[in-house]
Structure 1
């Protein structure tokens, strides 16, 4: 029997997930938690095998909770189940010790397979996560650019001015200039044209 803990700050989500496992003969929902700190405490108290962990929660977020569980109870496996698919969310969760990463819109049968595989000690990553991780290994510079910096870089490559980029991203022109300075520093260039050229050369941008 796989003992499962659901950690999510939305009661409706927790209820839906509990229902998804109802009737499964080999999976028991041992409990729920509404934030990361409560999740860490309940995981230990309930002696669970797998934790379904959301990432963005109050009190303690998912990444911090994963790291805490990894340090205190490494035998408990964590499967991230979240709505967030940005690079800034995936890698920190895996580095913290998550053994799987799925989005909440995954089909129920995929979720069931993932929980069983996680309990068996397998690494469970959605195909898009694998693609991103492989891309970061092949192109470590891309991994250093934040999602926002990549957005700015793409707009600049499309010919947008600072004002146009700011309007598209709903931020100030000063923020655009700051992002560009960070991009220049990371790519080792001095201006917009050089940044775009270097980004294409390194495969950070593709035509």
Structure 2
């Protein structure tokens, strides 16, 4: 079972969220939190696989505590579910430890997909935001990477699959896999999480342009 803690300050929304998630046969919601403090307590007590958390709740600003949550609960992946559709919020959330960023007005299946991706250690970003971020300039990137490698890495960091990258860039999936292997070799990382961290730490995905 994939064990989940949900955190949102609206009881009716939490109830609907629980029903949505538990409609999946391998999902179990183990606790519901109403703010960041209670989310921290429930994650500490239940050790869930995934924390689904809203950005706008009473108490501590969730964006400010994401790095602490990521550091303290390294075995729990974080998926943000929010109304905040500005790319800057998504960029910061992913940079500070979230693996998923889903908009509340998106299709319900997006959240399920994001939770499953997080359990696999993969990122997921709402496609509308992903398209905006992936189109931003990557000029001046470190690491001696080619323009195509930079495009592939930024799209990987934003949650695109190899097949989706191939379709968007009009190249084959095998070519995407080759670029990914070269990226990992050049940057000295061993997996997708390392590429995501590198992309955000070096400002290769910029929502402000």
Q: Does 2:66 align with 1:52?
A: no
CA contact (8 A) 1:101 1:124 kept: yes
Return the alpha-carbon distance in structure 2 between the equivalents of residues 69 and 97 of structure 1: 8
Bigger CA drift: 57-66 or 3-12? 57-66
CA apart distance, 1:136: 4.2
Q: Which residue of structure 1 aligns with residue 91 of structure 2?
A: 91
Structure with max Cα Rg = 1
Q: Which has the higher helix share?
A: 1
Q: Does 2:124 align with 1:124?
A: yes
Residues 1:46 and 1:130: Cα distance change in structure 2 (over 3 Å): same
Q: Which residue of structure 2 aligns with residue 144 of structure 1?
A: none
Give SS of 1:138's match.
Answer: coil
Bigger CA drift: 127-136 or 65-74? 127-136
The residue correspondences of 1:7-46 to structure 2 (distance < 5 A) are: 7-46=7-46
CA contact (8 A) 1:82 1:104 kept: yes
TM-score (norm. length: structure 1): 0.63
CA contact (8 A) 2:63 2:93 kept: yes
Return the alpha-carbon distance in structure 1 between the equivalents of residues 135 and 37 of structure 2: 33
Return the alpha-carbon distance in structure 2 between the equivalents of residues 37 and 93 of structure 1: 18
Higher RCO structure (Cα 8 Å, ≥6 apart): 2
Return the alpha-carbon distance in structure 2 between the equivalents of residues 11 and 52 of structure 1: 14
Return the alpha-carbon distance in structure 2 between the equivalents of residues 27 and 33 of structure 1: 17
TM-score (norm. length: structure 2): 0.62
Please give the per-residue CA displacement for 1:7-27, whole angstroms capped at 9, x wherever unaligned.
111111111101112332210
Give SS of 2:102's match.
Answer: strand
Return the alpha-carbon distance in structure 1 between the equivalents of residues 136 and 109 of structure 2: 29
Return the alpha-carbon distance in structure 2 between the equivalents of residues 75 and 137 of structure 1: 33
Return the alpha-carbon distance in structure 2 between the equivalents of residues 99 and 127 of structure 1: 14
CA contact (8 A) 1:39 1:65 kept: no
Gaps of 5+ in 2: 141-207
Residues 1:134 and 1:110: Cα distance change in structure 2 (over 3 Å): closer
Q: Which residue of structure 2 aligns with residue 103 of structure 1?
A: 103
CA apart distance, 1:139: 7.3
CA apart distance, 1:59: 0.9
Cα RMSD (Å) of the superposition?
A: 2.0
Return the alpha-carbon distance in structure 1 between the equivalents of residues 93 and 57 of structure 2: 14
Q: For this pair of structures, how many residues does the alignment match?
A: 142
Q: Which residue of structure 1 aligns with residue 68 of structure 2?
A: 68
Q: Which residue of structure 2 aligns with residue 78 of structure 1?
A: 78
